[in-house]
Amino acid sequence: MSTHTFVDTYAYTVTYVTDKLLLSVKEIIRESGLSPSKMSTGWASLERAVSAWITSKHLSQIMLEIFNPNTGALVCRWDLDIIYGYGGDGSLWVDTDAIKYHIRKAGLIPSTCDYSIIMRVKPNAPEVQGWGDGKLRSTDGFSRYSVGTTIGGSGLAAGLAYWGR
């Protein structure tokens, strides 16, 4: 008689990457000079959506839009692009130094700005309560700067980029 053990490493990776994605967004908000309290209030909903859509492999992007609340105009945007089938060596990691460096490079945001978090999902994604279609602000006049892969795990990763003038 033999005994077999199975460990669902993808489930661990989903939990790790979900946590690091949300902590990275929170760090960007805080280090840009804004209050993360609005994000903290909605943390459970964010975590539920990110985890569900990564598990089903429907999440393609998380976008943090920072905007002028008086005009609605975009000030800066951060994109976290989800990479399925990421190679790597099976370790779980996050490059916080690269994230912090590029936050400083993008510059401080006026404290009067507001932000929203929008997620882009692939067709036929499962519905998650509290989440629906969102409209992105125009990036006309902005340039996209790639930071590179900043979060990784076994078969799953995230690349970071930001939009600035």
pLDDT per residue as tens digits for the range 67-90: 999 999 999 999 999 999 998 777
pLDDT classification of 145: cutoffs 50, 70, 90: very high
> What domains, with CATH codes, occur in the chain?
9-122+143-164 (3.30.900.10)
Strands of 17-154 (E only): list them: 59-67, 74-86, 93-94, 114-121, 143-153
Q: What percent of the chain has pLDDT over 90?
A: 84
Spatial contact of 158 and 21, defined as CB atoms under 8 Å apart: yes
d(CA 165, CA 161): 13
Mean pLDDT across 98-106: 94
pLDDT of residue 6: 46
* Residue 133 pLDDT: 85
pLDDT 10s digits, 10-52: 888 999 999 999 999 999 999 999 999 999 999 999 999 999 9
